[in-house]
Structure 1
């Protein structure tokens, strides 16, 4: 079939991300790669005037956010080098555009969280002490003298914000032996004294979010009811005003308060859509914004709280920045989506489906079919597995699915066990079971594709990045008859090695992995069995491995080990598998050039092998 969407044109479409409204409410800062790489921009919300404030100093890949100073004169952001995620903090003075690097220990990861209301001090989540903990950075000091430890917890600890008066910090950590547990704490900024203020039950993920402007209350979230639920905690009494109805099919996460404290913005996750909801903090009543089914992110109040700024996309509509007028209940486009030479009418709609899996349950998924298929025509099909695994596919714009569907592939994007958005039971259904029931959900997805009349049952493939790469490795060796091709991207092939490397290089991920898959000694045999490298001899599918050489999350040795295992079993590169490393990337492509390269390699591979 003829292609309507040029691959290079699709990959080159610019991205706007990380929007954050200034404290004054009249400006928004964001990253955009209009120049080919990400730069930081500031736009006036009244006049629309926009200016670029970095010139090559912004991060190549966006894995950390930024914050405004309270006087709106500076922005602080974190940046790594070529995807190595050794995040360092930079300050940009907005009037002059001058950028200066703050002190950084070479192997640490420093994520700036907030600026003290009085200025002069940053709140930072950092691994500079080993485990991720909370630090403050004194902007008047130089070198190590600028840093002060606020918490020294043995488990991952992360702050959310300074209190409005700057005397306290809200943070989340775990002091329970149950690694899945998270509780909310506050501590003083001058005299740190950690105090737990929020726990619904041990074992649930109970967290503090934004401070209410009155400084006495904090937005909270908890999954103790079976799904994400939002409330408002009064610190003095411990009383919680729950806002989200208690419904295990309704998953919500808190955003920010309006300047007057009346409204709390919330994102409601239902059936792979994200919808903004505003809760009245006085009455508890909810108000759903009038937007079509799609994906809203980055909700932030602007212009005195009269408008809500957000990004919105659908499966056929790229993300655009909207200003939603709360009085008129309608949205205007602040930054339109760019389509370049492409015609949006050529994009295919992602169909929300559910397919049966092997134990009688149903797996929610998004299905993309080629446009203008002839009667009786059949196509190759792909299962695309998302990362995480605690993540999900949404009904937003998916460039992978669009260019593959345009090239005559049916693409299934399933939210298998372990995915978020469908309640705690579904999210936790693959605990200590990676490569178990979740793999059966993938296999059931392949069976579902085979049942579709437009799918050629002999031409099935699987691909995915990170955890999706793990599943692409494992499915190809645990279910060797299932797929003709497999494309693991920055994937995982050896769980023991992953835990060892993460615990040393990214301790917060080592902690996360143990919360998911147990302990190295106790669960050694499980880890061995659920590692694709153990079963490399069983590979029958043709495989194409892509990996960034600087990846600290799923290190390059994961791909190299599987490649070497294949060679040890007599497989030849080129004949049985293909392999590529990217020296200028970490955990995935970070700029337009990298995306274009990856898209081109994938399209070429599927055209030849599938």
Structure 2
């Protein structure tokens, strides 16, 4: 129908039923909103900067609320598609989030001395209204959708490894929880007369659409999606484990890890990330092979407050490694089956770095280890990484050397201590962690233990999810479950606390 040359392009519904869609394109520092018609593109509004989060202010869609970003400065504005008018909102409004076409109000983020708060703004008002109960919710809050009448607001709240769905009643400023199955709410959502729908994922269900009746308790997968009962996946649950600085939550797959033969501790990447109750193909494959998986959210993980997240700033491989070593000791103490092998270890990206540190710190306490895309040290990654990676290292202090019994967290120095059978996987085209890090690690590792290095031609940062990833994951499982070797540790041994 049309060709658009732009740095960014997206569509939103047209106010005119005869027009298939409205297009927002950004190029050369300017945004253009156009109608997509049978004859081609028809410009409607052009303005400087980038426009984001456009949403209807009126039922007919001829007036929009949006964020305008010019020279790095963001302001919330109203756009009139009939006359090209651009009207700024109140000066304290940080960003447009959602709108209610039925009432003409906009949900905005407001900068206050106490931090960013949620508020409702009627265009033309000097200030937004900041409901008390709406801003007293604990956890990370993400507005999802407004009901058609404009009376209720649906909110996603991240509560550790799972999501909660809350409904805020605008008239009474009351918040209630809407029951949903354990899982994770995504970003796409819509509230129509029939139901509130949003993207959703659960341990036994890849991403789909969950439909909820906010006036009752029913929640069901949208038509066309298989239900968890018809899918061959293993369910997961949340457990809490004691750590050296308090408890930590973990996502656990498979049978009771206290009694099963094979247990694997999986470490997430990031480090600003976390395991959650969304569908995870890698952990599912491990569980289907009969492995009990413990996926902890050690210090440094997101979703558990600022202090938990910031615990590893200037201390990569410090507090988080202490949590993993403590978890290892707790698992071994609780199992105590003389003929059961010690736990296995898996990690990707930052989790691969952390897993190799754990394998070196307690070399006799792991039965095997598989890592995907490790880096050698924060300082070496800083020297080799992209500007985005360097920015992350600067912000989190990833290049800081630690001075403790284990010494600097440099895997070229520490890897000779690893005794467990080890598989290292790295994508040749990894644009986050250069493949040279794993090549150097492979050259340094001695030949007196079982070691496999798999460099995946054309592979990217996580080749287990790329082309040929299923066969590669099968290879990983075969490696983990291969016969016990002479140097295999037994769970009766105790790791240092």
Measured against the shorter chain, the TM-score band is 0.7 to 0.9
The residue that corresponds to 1:486 in the other structure is 369
Are positions 1:586 and 2:460 aligned together?
Answer: yes
Aligned position for 1:428: 310
CA contact (8 A) 1:161 1:171 kept: no
Unaligned runs of 5+ in 2: 16-20, 57-62, 485-497
Distance (Å, rounded) in 2 between the aligned partners of 1:172 and 1:289: 39
Higher relative contact order (Cα pairs below 8 Å, separated by 6+ residues): 1
Deviations for 1:410-456, whole angstroms, at most 9, x for unmatched residues?
A: 21111111222222221222222221101111112212221233766
Question: What does residue 367 of structure 1 align with?
Answer: 252
Normalised to the residue count of structure 1, the TM-score between the two structures is 0.62
State the TM-score, normalized to the length of structure 2.
0.74
Say whether residues 1:283 and 2:175 are aligned partners: no
| In 2: Cα distance, 1:242 partner to 1:405 partner | 44
- The residue number in structure 1 matching 2:395 is 515
Q: Equivalent residues in 2 for 1:388-427 (5 A)?
A: 388-427=270-309
- The 5 Å alignment of 1:231-246 reads 231-232=118-119, 234=121, 236-237=126-127, 239-244=129-134, 246=136
Runs of 5+ unmatched residues, structure 1:
1-92, 105-109, 129-133, 152-158, 176-183, 200-206
Q: Matches of 2:65 and 2:207 in 1, distance apart? A: 38
Residues 542 and 378 (structure 1), Cα distance of their counterparts in 2 relative to 1, 3 Å cut? same
State how far apart, in whole Å, the 1-side matches of 2:280 and 2:87 are. Answer: 45
Decide whether the 8 Å contact of 1:117 with 1:166 is kept in 2.
Answer: no
Find 1:325's aligned residue among 203, 209, 213: 213
The alpha-carbon distance between structure 1 residues 474 and 223, as it changes in their structure 2 partners (threshold 3 A), is farther
Provide the residue aligned with 2:430 in structure 1. 551
CA contact (8 A) 1:499 1:513 kept: yes
Contact 1:306 1:327 in 2 (8 A): no
Separation in structure 2 between the aligned mates of residue 280 and residue 552 of structure 1, nearest angstrom: 46
Q: Secondary structure at the match of 2:478?
A: helix
Match of 2:414 among 535, 554, 558: 535
Determine if contact 1:276/1:299 at 8 Å carries over to the other structure. no
Name the CA distance, whole Å, in 2 between partners of 1:510 and 1:208. 31
In the superposition, relative to structure 1, how do residues 334 and 377 fare at CA in structure 2: closer, same or farther (>3 Å)? closer
The alignment yields a C-alpha RMSD, in angstroms, of 4.5
**Which residue is 1:351 aligned to?**
237
Cα distance change, pair 192–492 in 1 and its aligned pair in 2 (3 A): farther
Provide the residue aligned with 1:150 in structure 2. 49
Q: Return the alpha-carbon distance in structure 1 between the equivalents of residues 110 and 437 of structure 2.
A: 35
How is 1:184-263 mapped onto 2 (pairs within 5 angstroms)?
185-186=75-76, 197=92, 209-213=97-101, 217-220=106-109, 231-232=118-119, 234=121, 236-237=126-127, 239-244=129-134, 246=136, 248=138, 250-263=139-152
Distance 1:564 1:413, change over 3 A: same
Matches within 5 A, 1:51-130: 102-103=5-6, 112=9, 122=24
Secondary structure of 2:262's match?
A: strand
1:5-42 Cα deviation digits (max 9, x unpaired): xxxxxxxxxxxxxxxxxxxxxxxxxxxxxxxxxxxxxx
Relative distance call for 1:245 and 1:435 in structure 2 (3 A) is same
Q: 1:438 to 1:172 in 2, by over 3 A?
A: farther
Q: Give the C-alpha shift of residue 472 in structure 1.
A: 1.8
* Separation (CA, whole Å) in 2 of partners of 1:496 and 1:261: 52
1:135 Cα deviation from its structure 2 partner: 6.1
CA distance in 2 between counterparts of 1:281 and 1:438 reads: 41
Q: Distance in 2 between matches of 1:267 and 1:406?
A: 30
Structure index of larger Rg = 2
Which secondary structure state, in structure 2, belongs to the residue aligned with residue 601 of structure 1? helix
Q: What is the total number of aligned residue pairs between the two structures? A: 452
Residue equivalent to 2:18? none
